[in-house]
Amino acid sequence: MKAKVHVFLKPGVLDVQGKAVEGALNGLSTVQGWASVSHVRVGKVLEFDVAATTADEAKAQVKDMCDKLLANTVIESYTVEVA
Amino acid sequence: MKAKVHVFLKPGVLDVQGKAVEGALNGLSTVQGWASVSHVRVGKVLEFDVAATTADEAKAQVKDMCDKLLANTVIESYTVEVA
Amino acid sequence: MTTTTAPKPKSMADYAAEFGLKPDEYQVILDRLGREPNYVELGVFSVMWSEHCSYKSSRLHLKKFPVTGDRVICGPGENAGVIDIDDGQACIFKMESHNHPSYIEPYQGAATGVGGIMRDVFTMGARPVALLNALRFGEPDHPKTKRIVEGVVAGIGGYGNCVGVPTVAGETNFHSGYNGNVLVNAMCVGLADADKIFYSAAPEPGLPVVYFGSKTGRDGIHGATMSSAEFTEDSEEKRPTVQVGDPFAEKLLIEATLELMATGAVAAIQDMGAAGLTSSSVEMAGKGGLGITLDLDKVPQREENMSAYEMMLSESQERMLAILKPGREADGYRVFEKWGLDAAVIGETNTSGRIILTHKGEVVCDLPLAPLSDDAPLYDRPWVEPKCEPELKLADIPAPANLNDALLAMISSPDMSSKRWLWEQYDRHVMADTLADSSTGHDAGMVRVHGTKKALAVTSDCTPRYVLANPYEGGKQAVAEAWRNLTAVGADPIAITDNLNFGSPEKPETMGQIVRAIDGMAEACRELVFPVVSGNVSLYNETNGVSIPPTPTVGAVGLLKDYDQRAGYNSLKAGQVLLLIGA
Amino acid sequence: MSFKAAVLVFPGSNCDRDCKVAVERSTGGHVDMVWHQDTALPAGLDLIVVPGGFSYGDYLRCGAMASLSPVMAEVVKAAERGVNVIGICNGFQILCESGLLPGALMRNNTLKYICKPIELKVENHNTAFTQGYKPGQSVWMTQGNADGNFVADADTLNAIEGNGQVVFRYVENPNGSANDIAGLMNTRGNVLGMMPHPDRAFEAELGSDDGATLFKSLLNSALTAA
Ligand SMILES: Nc1ncnc2c1ncn2[C@@H]1O[C@H](COP(=O)(O)OP(=O)(O)O)[C@@H](O)[C@H]1O
């Protein structure tokens, strides 16, 4: 089964990358339109195969992986999709 | 309009982070099944607001941003969603 | 004025307890004010009277340290200590802990610790030139240790490397006593012109108060009171929002601050550390014997609908507060714009002797400054003579059966084994003035004083095992070892900073360790003419009622007048004579 | 003739002063600092240095944002005119991102920041940057980066090797870099990118002065050209 995990910083936690990318998109470019980019958030995405018989089983496994390794739940939250 | 960009290393470029995560997941496995995690790829995801009147216009803008800044197309490929 | 924005059912006394104020402390607040404080005011009191800001348990004993000397330009009491290194140059340095945050979120905790100590140094006008770190972790095979070590080391490197200050020395110990409470002590050393040192006291009324750096968010609210509270298992759940460091912002902040200072516009300046806006504004106005008003609507804010309470207690990183000379705002804005920093004039100094805060058109805090700092509680905590282990007699120690095995056991022990894995993650060479670092075979790090033949030698030392066995002797030993490490590279030892890490001062046993370790350190400092010019105290380092080994870390600085005279153990050759000096 | 160089300064550059001092002490020349928003470079330059550090925090991707700055547009034009350009560490990353050099620099295969002295072999000494070294000379410089792992596709690598574009190679590969590449130039030979720091190895007390030879080579090239 294919799993896809998105990890973002929790709301309220300073997203230094998002801030920097937004600044670059707004300020560095000479291209029309980029100035209008706002609310940039940068996160991580992981894709992998996981062996499981049902989607629910896979999802439970992947959540466990997120809690233990893939996300730092002190400052990050995650979403899991399996297909 | 909301844009979402996924950036992954191109196939053929060694994804050292993905490999490390895979190794860690396989090694950590206390639960049956983690050992079976495979083909891990780690990428970046960016979410942001972009001002545009149509989805097509937004998409074109975001693609331009990807080509010029958000992805390094020598080693990375990207996908763009707008909504 | 309005009173409070807090939810109703709880009384102010309840909140006081929640914020870590003892009932008698709260009573003093009521007596001094002649009324109940509101929620914001209570927040201000709670951070200013926290152990972290007020040093209420340690202040009496810290007075034992010698703090003056021929080369001391500024001793404890400012953001960092300042010493004279000849030719009109000064060295500014300090050490600080970030223990609790590093346990909760090792990477960010350690990273923001490095950021905080650098701000203490450049806020006085110095360019940071060297970093050190003293780390104490739990046992290597404790389930949490590996993750914490990796996170802490990556965080220290991640921050210092990016800012571009070399991390040249440090120390690392492992002990089960730190399993639930690691210690991360970071030291920063900077260089300035001796006649261009900046202080925090507001010099006169009517001056603009300028905020610059990153925006304020809801980061680490109540960090100062938390770092002064004992840990329990479930405080891992109740953690406040963790502060995230932005070393890039810090780099810009260093350049902007030094550039602003060079324009001559700065009258007084202070970084926003623990309890950010509260402690910086209270201290600047209080030290100057003045008053201050702040309009919180002007504070650059990262999040929407922030309350006055949240802004005053936020520990968002990479922020500074400066008081400018009359009419110099334009100089400030030119510099801030160049470096892309948020900035705003948020208030003014005055003669009121009070701190007055307005938010959304209403006065939300109006407090006299004196009780916040001068009258902060001061405790002579009861203490008992700590239990010491009997002195070891050489004759009682059995000789090892096999010397080779003994040697191998020693050098492969966690404390003695190579720390290469760790310091290879630290940029030790940026600034191109490093003469000695963790890898070169010297007892202290050494950096050139840029453009001269002089060099600074820096070291950090403490052997917690010794202090646990005998706090007085262990305290002496830490100072003496720092002295020896400096002399061993050919430097003249000048002064020290310290970071006193202990358990709860409310336990007479622990208080005894604090008192006796300070006695020992003070004794060694007097004997060696090695004054203490700055320092930091971290108490309540306990988990489930068990204290860490007492750990008074000593950071020391020495001067080499000619670095060609430096020495190390990296140039030993076969056939040379070994001399043992001392007992 | 006096050697004339410019060092770029991006927000987050942290080896800018190191580069200035290294060039001045090695060549006796004059160095101007050029701000990232400047839209013109000083006239008559013999060398442009893109220094190390963390330009724009290195957020997103090392060197990506810096490559879009106004000053880099000028650097590209200058390189096309034949001015010598060296990018060190973050500077190398910026040169790749801006297309002045082929390939890309990825996360080290150790996934860690690595700071250590590194032994390099001078692979091509027939360049303006390396003519002062002996053929195949072993040199020492320190390195400090988290993203120094050079990658390029097979065709690009073949071309790089075939053209003699590899200028420095690691004796012991620290980070997974393709073909042990530590330093690489463009086909014209006037743009060099390298991960190790000659700007931290210009005086013996820094552990090595092998980096000074590089700047002296550039001085000699300028003298011969003049
Ligand atoms: N946390 C650290 N950060 C930087 N350098 C460290 C750290 N821990 C140890 N080192 C370095 O490793 C070397 C050996 O450390 P240590 O065993 O404490 O040596 P010594 O007992 O000679 O002081 C020293 O150069 C020291 O500076």
Q: Which are the contacts of C408, defined by CB distance < 8 A and separation ≥ 6?
A: none
Closest CA to B13 of C189, D150, C41, C360: D150
List, for residues D165-195, the tens digit of each pLDDT value: 999 999 999 999 999 999 999 999 999 999 9
Shortest alpha-carbon distance between residue C15 and chain A (Å) = 24
C563 contacts D202? CB cut-off 8 A? no
Q: How many residues are given for chain C?
A: 583
Computed from CA positions of residues C31, C36, C40, C43, in that sequence, does the dihedral angle turn out positive or negative? positive
C290 lines ligand 1 (CB under 6 A): no
B17 contacts D97? CB cut-off 8 A? no
Contact status, residue C251 vs residue D12, Cβ threshold 8 Å? yes
* Residue D220, domain extent: 4-225
Report the C-alpha gap between C418 and C413 in whole angstroms. 9
Q: Is the pLDDT of residue C229 over 70?
A: no
C155 lines ligand 1 (CB under 6 A): no
Question: Is D36 designated active site?
Answer: no
Q: Provide the pLDDT for residue B38.
A: 92
Per residue of chain B (83 residues), give pLDDT as tens: 999 999 999 998 999 999 999 988 888 756 555 778 999 999 999 999 999 899 999 999 999 999 999 999 999 999 999 99
Contact status, residue D71 vs residue D37, Cβ threshold 8 Å? yes
Would you call C430 an interface residue with chain D, using a CB distance cutoff of 8 Å?
yes
Shortest alpha-carbon distance between residue B69 and chain D (Å) = 6
Total tally of structural domains belonging to chain D = 1
Chain D residues in contact with C164 by the CB 8 A cut-off are 14-15, 53-54
Instruction: Give whole-number Cα distances, C183 to A4, C96, C476, D144, in Å.
Output: 37, 10, 20, 26
Would you call B45 an interface residue with chain A, using a CB distance cutoff of 8 Å?
yes
Interval C207-218 mean pLDDT? 95
Mean pLDDT of chain C: 93
Q: Provide the pLDDT for residue B33.
A: 55
The residue to which tokens 């939810």 are assigned? C7
Per-residue pLDDT band for C223 (boundaries 50, 70, 90) equals low
Inspect the structure and tell me whether chains C and B have 3 or more CB pairs less than 8 Å apart.
no
Q: Provide the pLDDT for residue C237.
A: 39
Does ipTM come in above 0.95? no
Q: Provide the pLDDT for residue C456.
A: 98
Q: Is the pLDDT of residue C3 over 80?
A: no
Which pTM value belongs to this model?
Answer: 0.94
Q: Is the pLDDT of residue C563 over 50?
A: yes
List, for residues D130-153, the tens digit of each pLDDT value: 999 999 999 999 999 999 999 999
Considering just the CA atoms, what is the radius of gyration of chain D in Å? 16
Q: Provide the pLDDT for residue D1.
A: 66
C249 contacts A13? CB cut-off 8 A? no
Interval C128-146 mean pLDDT? 97
Nearest CB among D68, D96, D176 relative to B69 is that of D68
Question: Is C429 designated active site?
Answer: no
C248 contacts A20? CB cut-off 8 A? yes
Q: Provide the pLDDT for residue C241.
A: 67
Distance of CA C255 to the CA centre of its chain: 21
Structural domains present in chain B: 2-82 (3.30.1280.10)
Burial tier of D143 (Cβ tally within 10 Å: 0-12, 13-18, 19+): buried
Q: Is the pLDDT of residue C239 over 50?
A: no
Chain C residues in contact with A16 by the CB 8 A cut-off are 244, 246, 248-249
Nearest chain A residue (CA) to C220: A13
Q: Token pair for residue B71?
A: 């992805």
Q: Is the pLDDT of residue C5 over 90?
A: no
Q: Provide the pLDDT for residue A35.
A: 79
Chain D residues in contact with B42 by the CB 8 A cut-off are none
List, for residues C307-366, the tens digit of each pLDDT value: 999 999 999 999 999 999 999 999 999 999 999 999 999 999 999 999 999 999 999 999
Nearest CB among C105, C248, C303 relative to A74 is that of C105
C169 lines ligand 1 (CB under 6 A): yes
Interval D119-128 mean pLDDT? 97
Q: Is the pLDDT of residue C82 over 80?
A: yes
Q: Which are the contacts of D200, defined by CB distance < 8 A and separation ≥ 6?
A: C429, C430, C432, D15, D18, D22, D141, D142, D206, D211
Q: Provide the pLDDT for residue C233.
A: 45
Report the C-alpha gap between D43 and D81 in whole angstroms. 12
Nearest chain D residue (CA) to C426: D115
Instruction: Give whole-number Cα distances, C19 to C32, C283, C383, D128, D224, in Å.
Output: 19, 20, 26, 66, 73
Q: Please report, for the domain that includes residue D143, its CATH number.
A: 3.40.50.880
List, for residues C367-387, the tens digit of each pLDDT value: 999 888 877 899 999 999 999
On the CB side of C93, how many CA atoms lie within 13 Å of its CA? Answer: 35
Would you call C164 an interface residue with chain D, using a CB distance cutoff of 8 Å?
yes
Q: Token pair for residue C231?
A: 């840990």
Least confident of B34-38, C27-31, C405-409, C431-435: B34-38
H/E stretch holding C343: strand C342-350
Interface of C with D in 136-155 (CB under 8 A): 154
Q: Provide the pLDDT for residue C238.
A: 41
Nearest Cα residue to atom 24 of ligand 1? C438
Rounded to the nearest whole angstrom, what is the distance from the C-alpha of residue C417 to the centroid of ligand 1? 10
Q: Is the pLDDT of residue C236 over 70?
A: no
Q: Is the pLDDT of residue D24 over 90?
A: yes
Shortest alpha-carbon distance between residue D6 and chain A (Å) = 22
Nearest chain D residue (CA) to A40: D60
Q: Provide the pLDDT for residue C4.
A: 52
Chain A residues in contact with C249 by the CB 8 A cut-off are 16
C422 lines ligand 1 (CB under 6 A): yes
Considering just the CA atoms, what is the radius of gyration of chain A in Å? 17
Rounded to the nearest whole angstrom, what is the distance from the C-alpha of residue C439 to the centroid of ligand 1? 9
Chain D residues in contact with B16 by the CB 8 A cut-off are 106-109, 111, 149, 176
Helix, strand, coil percentages (3-state) for chain A, rounded to 5, are: 35, 35, 30
Interval D72-90 mean pLDDT? 97
Contact status, residue D70 vs residue D61, Cβ threshold 8 Å? no
SS3 string, D187-214, reads: CCCCEEEECCEHHHCCEHHHCECHHHHH
Nearest CB among C214, C218, C244 relative to A75 is that of C244
SS3 string, C161-223, reads: HHHCCCEEEEEEEECHHHCCCCEEEEEEEEEEECCCCCCCCCCCCCCEEEEEECCECCCCCCH
Instruction: Enumerate chain B positions whose Cβ falls within 8 A of a Cβ in D.
Output: 12-14, 16-17, 20, 44, 68-70, 72, 74-75
Q: Which of D36, D65, D72, D74 to mutate to test the interface with A (most CBs of A within 10 A)?
A: D65
Q: Is the pLDDT of residue C141 over 90?
A: yes
Crossing angle (nearest 10°) for helices D16-27 and D210-225: 60
C138 lines ligand 1 (CB under 6 A): no
Interval C7-14 mean pLDDT? 77
Q: What is the dihedral of CA C1, C6, C11, C15, to 10 degrees?
A: -110
Q: Provide the pLDDT for residue A32.
A: 45
Contact status, residue C479 vs residue C516, Cβ threshold 8 Å? no
C135 lines ligand 1 (CB under 6 A): yes
